[in-house]
Amino acid sequence: MPLATVNGIALNYQVKGDRARGTDTKGGGPLVVMIMGTGSPGRVWELHQVPALLAAGYRVCTFDNRGIAPSFDAAAGMRIEELVADTAALIELLDEGPALIAGTSMGARVAQELSLTRPELVRKAVFLAGHGRMDQFQQVLSLGENELDEQGIKLPAKYEAAVNAVMNLSPASLADPNTARDWLDLFEFTGGPVAPGIRAQRRMDHSFNRLQAYRGITVPCLSVGFADDRMIPPYLSREVADVIPGARYLEVPDAGHFGYLERPEAVNKILLDFFAG
């Protein structure tokens, strides 16, 4: 991935796709910008969503949000407004807007705010596990996570893997012994010390309520909830669709917070159908 200076910081990004396809003014397939959630690099989209979008003729941009190396680490802290400005500046750098936008969790928040504040850069937007507020459980969970970070407490690897599985996966995945083993092994293998930039992402304000502001969004939007999501319960995603004029809501069954990894075929179909519609 190349490093670009956008919004005054270094941002690691990658664009894939054939510019010769499609009918857009730039001579290439329509650009889709994918925005990842807290603590994860943009390359996670490469597992399932990027191949499906490329096969359908889209160009796809993935990137590492500030806080994710090798992008600017922002260890001193960050605000959602800065993440939105980073994404806007990247789209302007690519000069292929307005773009199709998809984000998950924190990335969905970025997509929502981008759709509100910079509608000229957004053709359509999909919010996976989107939310206009956090309920009491999410706020307390975030505060507890921050306390663990501040005190330097490291949970035993197997226990941390189990907690991550329960919080991010559907019971349907954990009920299958082979699937559960694979996910638990993955969580245990990828665990370890939390980088300062990721801690900064976790420390962002969780007491926000942007639902009334989202009534001002005018671009076509789709909010997608994951039926078994414990991190962002689907009713929070439905709320977003309810307040945005003309927005739609869809819910993916047997999917937790990582629904785009658990049920990629369903999520990919949702993205492709909405973008093409």
Instruction: Name the one residue in this structure whose structure tokens are 């997608």.
Output: 224
Q: How many CB atoms lie within 10 A of CB 204?
A: 18
Give the length of the chain.
Answer: 277
Question: What pLDDT does residue 11 have?
Answer: 97
Q: Which fold has domain 3-135+208-276?
A: Rossmann fold (3.40.50)
Among residues 40, 105, 115, 170, the one annotated as catalytic is 105
CB 52 within 8 A of CB 74: no
The answer to whether 257 is a known catalytic residue is: yes
pLDDT at residue number 212: 98
Question: How high is the pLDDT of residue 78?
Answer: 96
Per-residue pLDDT of the chain (277 residues; tens, 9 = 90+): 689 999 999 999 999 997 654 444 444 579 999 999 999 999 999 999 999 999 999 999 999 999 999 999 999 999 999 999 999 999 999 999 899 999 999 999 999 999 999 999 999 999 999 999 999 998 999 999 889 888 888 889 999 999 999 999 999 999 999 999 999 999 999 887 889 999 999 999 889 999 999 999 999 999 999 999 999 999 999 999 999 999 999 999 999 999 999 999 999 999 999 999 8
d(CA 72, CA 84): 15
pTM greater than 0.75: yes
At 52 the three-state DSSP class reads helix
- Catalytic: 142? no
In the chain, CATH 3.40.50.1820 sits at: 3-135+208-276
Catalytic residue among 73, 142, 223, 257: 257
- Look up residue 203 and give its amino acid: R
252, β-bridge pairs: 226
CA 269 – CA 264 distance, rounded (Å): 8
pLDDT of residue 23: 42
Instruction: Choose the catalytic residue: 73, 86, 228, 229.
Output: 229
Cβ distance 139 to 205 under 8 Å? Answer: no
Residue 135 catalytic?
no
204 touches 80 (CB < 8 A): yes
User: What pLDDT score does 28 carry?
Assistant: 57
* Chain-centroid distance, C-alpha 272: 17
Q: Please give the full DSSP string across 73-88, using - where no structure is assigned.
A: --TT---HHHHHHHHH
